[in-house]
């Protein structure tokens, strides 16, 4: 199936999606707002590929071959020839809607327009286009080159053909898919982790348990590879706060209301691994 893919947003998620697609033979256009952003994205991809090569997971030649299939741009119009477009910009509805308004005008009628959102209902993003049946959620997991899961999300009007194309694409680039049949806020995975994180933070906040012991309990008691607080630090405390707020706004369900500690950490800049401190020091 390998064809032409456009990835909008060259951050951690966008560059990861571009990398695995290029490795699978897709011609990838990676777009961000400025050359510095696309440069950082490609540098990250090179570093990731070289790490795989150093471990013998891929051949040294594969590094340059994959990079050779990635073209960077600051022009959204470059998405015009893509069969699939994956948007991976900042997790805010107004930002995503603006991207989709433009993609709707730029892309060919057969193009599948996918969003990598982890918590915003796909229907709200699709509603600003003239082709909501062609819009689908493809929620990849970070780091994309390592994580096998892709959560496929049906918007209210997503067609079966669009979902099938998205599944074929995700499977071809090495992912296992689960389908979310109704795009409730947070879908399945973000909803589960948000509920777990909110309760975990409340237990730590009220002095019931330390972050280390809570994570150990989840790892050894439930078989989790990482505890919820270490996961929050990896994902970004601000990202988890944003996700819980999105779900709470949509559902008014108290179990998703972000605890004060989570909000204070974000205000103080303790965002997890990316800032050097979250629930743990890095």
Give pLDDT, residue 6.
98
Mean per-residue pLDDT of the chain: 96
Give the per-residue pLDDT at 185. Answer: 85
Annotated domain spans of the chain = 4-180, 190-275
The pTM of this model reads: 0.90
Q: Which fold has domain 4-180?
A: Rossmann fold (3.40.50)
- Contact in structure between 155 and 123 (CB atoms under 8 Å): yes
The pLDDT, as a whole number, for residue 112 is 98
Tens of pLDDT, residues 203-218: 999 999 999 999 999 9
Q: Report pLDDT for 119.
A: 81
The CATH class of the 190-275 domain is: mainly alpha
DSSP per-residue codes, the chain = ---EEEEE--SHHHHHHHHHHHHTT-EEEEE-SSHHHHHHHHHHHHHHHHHHHHTTSS-HHHHHHHHHTEEEES-GGGGGG-SEEEE---S-HHHHHHHHHHHHHHS-TT-EEEE--SSS-HHHHHTTSS-GGGEEEEEE-SSTTT--EEEEEE-TT--HHHHHHHHHHHHHTT-EEEEESS--TTTTHHHHHHHHHHHHHHHHHTTSS-HHHHHHHHHHHH--SS-HHHHHHHH-HHHHHHHHHHHHHHH--GGGSPPHHHHHHHHHT--BGGGTBSSSB-
Task: Specify the pLDDT at position 35.
Answer: 97
Q: So what's the pLDDT on residue 2?
A: 79
Give the pLDDT confidence of 166-195 residue by residue, as tens digits. 999 999 999 999 999 998 888 999 999 999
**How many whole angstroms separate alpha carbon 206 and alpha carbon 263?**
15
* Rounded Cα distance, 155 and 185, in Å: 11
Taking residues 111-130, what's their average pLDDT? 95
Q: What does the alpha-carbon distance between residue 133 and residue 162 come to, in Å, rounded to a whole number?
A: 7
Residue 1 has pLDDT above 80, yes or no: no
Is pLDDT larger for residue 92 or for residue 175?
175
120 — pLDDT class (breaks 50, 70, 90): confident
């Amino acid at each position: 199936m390998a064809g032409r893919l456009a990835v909008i947003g060259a951050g951690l998620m966008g560059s990861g999606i571009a990398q695995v697609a290029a490795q699978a033979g897709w011609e990838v256009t990676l777009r961000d707002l400025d050359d510095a952003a696309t440069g950082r994205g490609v540098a990250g991809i090179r570093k990731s590929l070289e790490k795989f090569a150093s471990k013998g997971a891929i051949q040294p030649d594969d590094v340059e071959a994959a990079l050779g299939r990635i073209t960077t741009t600051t022009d959204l119009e470059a998405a015009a020839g893509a069969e699939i477009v994956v948007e991976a910009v900042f997790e805010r509805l107004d930002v995503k809607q603006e991207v989709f308004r433009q993609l709707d005008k730029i892309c060919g009628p057969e193009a599948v327009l996918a969003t990598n959102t982890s918590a915003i209902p796909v229907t709200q993003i699709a509603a600003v286009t003239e082709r909501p049946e062609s819009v689908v959620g493809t929620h990849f997991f970070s780091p994309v080159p390592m994580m096998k899961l892709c959560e496929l999300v049906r918007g209210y009007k997503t067609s079966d053909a669009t979902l099938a194309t998205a599944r074929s694409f995700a499977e071809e680039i090495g992912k296992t898919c689960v389908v979310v049949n109704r795009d409730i806020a947070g879908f399945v995975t973000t909803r589960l982790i948000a509920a777990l994180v909110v309760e975990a933070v409340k237990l730590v906040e009220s002095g019931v348990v330390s972050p280390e012991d809570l994570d150990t309990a989840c790892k050894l008691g439930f078989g989790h590879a990482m505890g919820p607080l270490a996961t929050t630090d990896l994902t970004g405390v601000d990202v988890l706060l944003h996700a819980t707020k999105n779900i709470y706004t949509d559902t008014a369900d108290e179990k998703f209301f972000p605890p004060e500690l989570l909000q204070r950490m974000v205000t103080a800049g303790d965002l997890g691994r990316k800032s050097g401190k979250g629930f743990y020091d890095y």
